[in-house]
């Protein structure tokens, strides 16, 4: 029986965090508040591309062995954090103006803008960014570890 390696565990964690970040983003776009229906272009493409790279790298290492498989897996494990980082940059770029408007408006505008729905929407956007940032960092760290576990 094979033991799961540190790299495999971290890769799975990165994929799960990216999926949770996407769910948070989806609830942000679908919910009430400032960001209702405010989609970020290419965000789903980058997130799901990064998740797909992580999953394919894991599956390739479980299914077969060889230098070519290791090379492809390595490229996928380097590409995944890049895609997740692009998604994070797009999300930040799409949300930063609204966050500044909600949190840093003058006192007169703040009374009108800082409603419960808008503050909730802003918090969800921040959580999405944080989760995606952590997923990106975990994916970067996972790339330094092997996906192959030790034989028992």
Residue 148 lies in a domain: no
pTM: 0.89
Q: Has residue 111 been placed in a domain?
A: yes
3-class secondary structure per residue, the chain:
CECCCHHHHHHHHHHHHHHHHHHHHHHHHHCCCCCCCCCCCCHHHHHHHHHHHHHHHHHHHHHCCCHHHHHHHHHHHHHHHHHHHHHHHHHHHHHHHHHHHHHHCCHHHHHHHCCHHHHHHHHHHHHHHHHHHHHHHHHHHHCCCCCCCCEC
152 within some domain: no
- pLDDT band at 149, cuts 50/70/90? low
Q: How much is the pLDDT for 82? A: 96
Interval 16-66: pLDDT, tens:
999 999 999 999 999 888 888 889 989 999 999 999 999 999 998 888 788
pLDDT for the residue numbered 151 = 56
Query: How would residue 1 be classed by pLDDT, with cut points 50, 70 and 90?
Result: very low
Quote the domain boundaries for residue 70: 7-36+44-142
What's the structural domain count of the chain?
1
- List pLDDT tens digits, range 74-101: 899 999 999 999 999 999 999 999 898 8
Q: Is residue 151 part of a domain?
A: no
């Amino acid at each position: 029986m094979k033991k799961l390696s540190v790299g495999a565990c971290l890769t799975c964690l990165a994929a799960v965090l990216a999926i949770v970040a996407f769910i948070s983003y989806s609830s942000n776009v679908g919910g009430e508040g400032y960001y209702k229906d405010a989609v970020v272009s290419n965000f789903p493409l980058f997130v799901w591309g990064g998740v797909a790279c992580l999953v394919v790298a894991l599956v390739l290492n479980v299914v077969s062995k060889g230098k070519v498989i290791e090379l492809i897996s390595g490229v996928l494990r380097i590409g995944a954090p890049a895609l997740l980082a692009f998604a994070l940059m797009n999300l930040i770029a799409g949300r930063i103006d609204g966050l500044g408007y909600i949190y840093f408006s003058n006192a007169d505008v703040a009374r009108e803008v800082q409603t419960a729905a808008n503050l909730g929407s802003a918090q969800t956007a921040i959580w999405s960014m944080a989760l995606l940032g952590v997923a990106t960092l975990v994916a970067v760290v996972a790339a330094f570890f092997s996906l192959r576990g030790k034989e028992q």
